[in-house]
Amino acid sequence: MLLIVATRYDEVTRRTFAVAENLRQESCERKVPTTILFESRATRDALEAEIRRPFQVVAFFSHGDDQGRMLAQDREPFWKDENTPDFHGGAIVAHACRAMLYLETQRGKLRAKLLVGYRVDLKLPPEGSDLFWDRYRRLHVLFPLRLVEATDVDDVRREFYSLGTECIAEVHRHGGSLIELIALQQSRDDLVIWAP
């Protein structure tokens, strides 16, 4: 089972929401049981209610704050230290700036078997081309999709790196801007994976 959580309230979350939409579409095509908490449903209360059921993968698409906490639609953290949810041994894939800074400190309480995300601010081009956004979505759908298919994390890591390299080369070949190339390279190279 897959749970996709995605906010949408500014230009950045509008773009990452499109990634979440692609993930939902791909999971439907592959007949993966999927629950979505999008926009007004991407709240602390809704997450708390849904996470009572065990999910193989929970994928977050949101902003991270200066501590790395992922922000819900109301721009407040999905949880704070005193109410950390139990992820029942599932994987958390967090597409949010600095998310790993917080997730790594919470890993014991989260009871997740795998954490995937970034410790840095993600760079996104304000005027990215259609080709860039298409490749960016393809790249960021890969990890949660392969994990829910029970693919080995090391295999997914290699596939992610390979796809990231292909995306960079293709965007470069078609005259992509420097910030587009930096964003793809950062996505590929700065991804952090924690597994016990």
Q: In this predicted model, what pLDDT tens digit does every residue of 48-107 receive, in sequence order?
A: 999 999 999 999 999 999 889 999 999 999 998 888 999 999 999 999 999 999 999 999
Rounded to an integer, what is the distance from CA 45 to the centroid of its chain?
20
Per-residue confidence band for 14, with pLDDT thresholds at 50, 70 and 90: very high
> From the CB of residue 93, how many other CB atoms can be counted at a distance below 10 Å?
27
Per-residue confidence band for 133, with pLDDT thresholds at 50, 70 and 90: very high
Beta strands 191-194 and 91-95 are unpaired
Q: Is the pLDDT of residue 196 over 80?
A: no
Structure tokens at 110: 């989260």
CATH of residue 74's domain is 3.40.50
Q: Is the pLDDT of residue 26 over 80?
A: yes
pLDDT of res. 80: 87
The partner residues of 116 in beta bridges, in order of sequence, read 93, 193
Mean pLDDT value of segment 11-22: 94
Q: Determine the structural domain holding residue 167 and report its residue range.
A: 2-194
Q: How far apart are CA 8 and CA 174, in angstroms?
A: 29
pLDDT of res. 112: 95
What's the pLDDT tens digit per position in 30-39? 999 999 999 9
Q: What is the pTM of this model?
A: 0.95
pLDDT of res. 183: 96
Q: Is the pLDDT of residue 151 over 90?
A: no
Q: ∠ CA 118-120-124 to the nearest 5 degrees? A: 95
Q: How far apart are CA 181 and CA 189, in angstroms?
A: 12
- Distance between first and last Cα of the chain: 22
Contacts of 111 (CB under 8 A, 6+ apart): 86, 87, 88, 89
Among candidate residues 32, 59, 56, the one with its CA nearest the CA of residue 47: 59
pLDDT above 90 coverage of the chain, percent: 91
Q: State the total domains in the chain.
A: 1
Q: How far apart are CA 84 and CA 112, in angstroms?
A: 12
